[in-house]
């Protein structure tokens, strides 16, 4: 594998290519990249971010949230009273009657649709969410994605509105932009106060739970100062489900398949999708020594709930958009269902492996190991054509093929960890195939989509000794945004140094437990 630099981004290229960090041919109205991937090719002019002029004393008084931004156990540091939005700073607020073109929002939304007053910077951040952030997250038309459906949910409650604006402002900001960072933290803090109040209220609207928790987790993944805050969010998820599981998962246990959102009946499949994403994140956290409590609770107290919300999740986008959902988008969704199924099963096996590894101090459970081995073999047989396609270099590049690479790499990463645990030798074949699928994805999509295979790259990196492959992996991690990715890259660098001094596997988790490195979740 050769290490190559990403193609330089053109200043005149479409915003879709620039967000994905791939070279654009600048052909208008639709460039070749967007046409090949059926993406929305966006050449709309962008407004330069407007900086708020703040006095030094005002900045010094701004509430910077410290490392412990947790959902639970924070009443002593944040007021549980819902922050007032009735008297916003008029100089920073977009009034509907005076809003110009710069404040018209995407997805046919207006500032009137939002439950909080929006500043011009807030509006620009929402544009950024749709035009720049979402294209980096999905390989389908951004307008018809789960992330866009989530944005509509955020217009139904002030808590969610503050959260999505906080995330979007922070994502839009440059690394040295303290003004925007402070604005994002202000929104985050208001949302946190509302959520604490939500948890303590007898009239809580449970439908906001998973959208809020997913946004909290996503924010901490990208910008959190401490993994402890992320851990507490996951503990908060577990505690909420322990108390209100039957209300949160009614469709999976014989209840209603709709939800009441601000007085309107809506399909609840999008909530199932967000719940499933949160479950997957809990499984990922278990790999790194924390998390896993939510999955354990669901398996013990709400048996079958995970399996039953998986089919519901697969139709979430279509159900969220209703009759206006384009047939070609529905056809695309149908094609990725097998890929999502392989991802789902692989992630749950990743969780089971983490349990085995945690119990390894008292001796490896042979029955558990045999069970996981059989399940991996079944997945290999069931999805052999999919995995072979992801490994092939002869198939024409498509967005479906890129998603095949993600699913196959995730499965192969589980194989790597299983073989290391079972045989205590380097699983060279699985490592080689994992690197191959990741390299193909990078060739197809550039660095922007590599966060989808961050864990497979990390799992392969723990096993390789070749400096060229090591350098390539570190370059990929360096080009992925997020504090968790940076922490993972720091550990991986130390692993590579250690492997030059010794042979065999490196116990990087002991470094994290000892405080040598901060924890992370990928």
Percent of the chain with pLDDT over 90: 51
Q: Cα dist. 482→69, 85, 219, 477 in Å?
A: 17, 30, 9, 10
Q: Which is more confident, 443 or 503?
A: 443
- 393, part of any domain: yes
Over residues 168-192, the mean pLDDT reads 92
CB atoms within 10 A of CB 354: 21
- 12, part of any domain: yes
- 305, part of any domain: no
What pLDDT, on a 0 to 100 scale, did the predictor assign at position 51?
A: 42
CA distance 101 to 45: 12
Q: Which token pair is 446?
A: 């550039």
CA distance 154 to 156: 5
| CB within 8 Å of 420: residues ≥ 6 apart | 426, 427, 463, 505
CA distance 44 to 65: 35
User: Where a domain ends, among 9, 27, 45?
Assistant: 45
User: Where a domain ends, among 45, 63, 78?
Assistant: 45
- 181, part of any domain: no
- 218, part of any domain: no
Percent of the chain with pLDDT over 70: 83
Instruction: Report the chain's mean pLDDT, rounded to a whole number.
Output: 83
- 293, part of any domain: no
pLDDT tens-place string over residues 410-467? 999 999 999 999 988 889 999 999 999 999 999 999 998 999 999 999 999 999 999 9
CA distance 413 to 292: 18
- 398, part of any domain: yes
Counted domains in the chain = 2
**What is the residue range of 500's domain?**
365-522
Provide the 3-class DSSP secondary structure of residue 361: helix
What pLDDT, on a 0 to 100 scale, did the predictor assign at position 361?
A: 61
Look at the block and give the residue holding tokens 């205590």: 424
∠ CA(178), CA(183), CA(184), 5° rounding? 95
What pLDDT, on a 0 to 100 scale, did the predictor assign at position 88?
A: 37
The answer to pTM > 0.95 is: no
CA distance 310 to 4: 38
Q: Which is more confident, 168 or 252?
A: 168
What pLDDT, on a 0 to 100 scale, did the predictor assign at position 503?
A: 80
Rg (CA), the chain: 23
Task: Return the CATH number at 23.
Answer: 4.10.240.10
pLDDT at 245 over 90: no
Please, what sign has the CA dihedral across residues 423, 425, 428, 431?
A: positive
Please, what sign has the CA dihedral across residues 131, 272, 448, 451?
A: positive
Confidence category of residue 253, pLDDT binned at 50, 70, 90:
low
What pLDDT, on a 0 to 100 scale, did the predictor assign at position 252?
A: 53
- 188, part of any domain: no
Look at the block and give the residue holding tokens 């906001």: 208
Look at the block and give the residue holding tokens 């492996």: 353
Classify burial at 108, counting beta carbons within 10 Å of its beta carbon; exposed 0-12, middle 13-18, buried 19 or more. Answer: exposed
């Amino acid at each position: 594998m050769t290490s190559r630099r990403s193609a330089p981004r053109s200043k005149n290229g479409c915003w879709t290519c620039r967000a994905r960090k791939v070279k654009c041919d600048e052909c208008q109205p639709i460039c070749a990249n967007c046409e090949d991937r059926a993406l929305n090719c966006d050449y709309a002019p962008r407004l330069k971010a407007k900086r708020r002029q703040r006095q030094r004393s005002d900045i010094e008084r701004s509430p910077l949230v410290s490392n412990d931004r947790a959902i639970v156990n924070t009443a002593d540091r944040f007021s549980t009273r819902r922050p007032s939005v009735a008297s916003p700073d008029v100089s920073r607020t977009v009034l509907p009657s005076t809003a110009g073109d710069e404040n018209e929002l995407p997805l046919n939304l207006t500032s009137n649709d939002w439950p909080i007053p929006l500043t011009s910077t807030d509006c620009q951040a929402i544009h950024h969410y749709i035009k720049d952030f979402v294209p980096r997250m999905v390989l389908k038309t951004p307008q018809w994605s789960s992330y866009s459906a989530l944005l509509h949910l955020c217009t139904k409650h002030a808590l969610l509105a503050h959260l999505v604006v906080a995330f979007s402002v922070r994502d839009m900001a440059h690394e040295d932009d303290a003004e925007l960072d402070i604005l994002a933290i202000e929104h985050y803090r208001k949302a946190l106060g509302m959520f604490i109040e939500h948890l303590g209220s007898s009239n809580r609207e449970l439908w906001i739970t998973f959208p809020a928790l997913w946004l909290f987790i996503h924010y901490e993944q990208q910008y959190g100062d401490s993994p402890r805050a992320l851990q507490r969010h996951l503990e908060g998820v577990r505690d909420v489900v322990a108390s209100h599981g039957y209300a949160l998962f009614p469709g999976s246990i014989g209840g209603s398949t709709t939800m009441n959102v601000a007085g309107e009946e809506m399909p609840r499949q999008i909530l199932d999708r967000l719940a499933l994403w949160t479950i997957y994140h809990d499984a990922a956290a278990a790999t790194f020594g924390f998390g896993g409590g939510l999955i354990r609770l669901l398996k013990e107290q709400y048996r079958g709930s995970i399996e039953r919300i998986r089919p519901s999740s697969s139709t979430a986008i279509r159900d969220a958009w209703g009759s206006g959902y384009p047939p070609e988008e529905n056809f695309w969704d149908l094609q990725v269902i097998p890929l999502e199924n392989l991802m789902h099963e692989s992630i749950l096996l990743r969780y089971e492996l983490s349990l085995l590894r945690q119990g390894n101090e008292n001796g490896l459970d042979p029955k558990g190991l045999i069970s996981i081995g059989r399940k991996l073999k079944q997945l290999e047989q069931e999805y052999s054509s999919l995995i072979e396609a992801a490994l092939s270099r002869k198939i024409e590049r498509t967005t479906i093929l890129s998603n095949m690479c993600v699913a196959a790499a995730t499965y192969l990463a589980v194989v790597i960890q299983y073989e290391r645990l079972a045989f205590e030798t380097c699983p060279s074949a699985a490592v080689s195939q994992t690197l191959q699928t990741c390299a193909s994805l990078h060739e197809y999509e550039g660095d922007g989509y590599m966060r989808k295979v961050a864990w497979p790259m990390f799992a392969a990196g723990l096993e390789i000794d070749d400096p060229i492959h090591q350098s390539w992996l570190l370059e990929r991690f360096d080009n992925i945004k997020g504090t968790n990715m940076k922490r993972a890259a720091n550990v991986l660098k130390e692993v590579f140094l250690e492997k030059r001094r010794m042979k065999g596997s490196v116990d990087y988790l002991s470094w994290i437990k000892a405080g040598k490195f901060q924890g992370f979740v990928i």
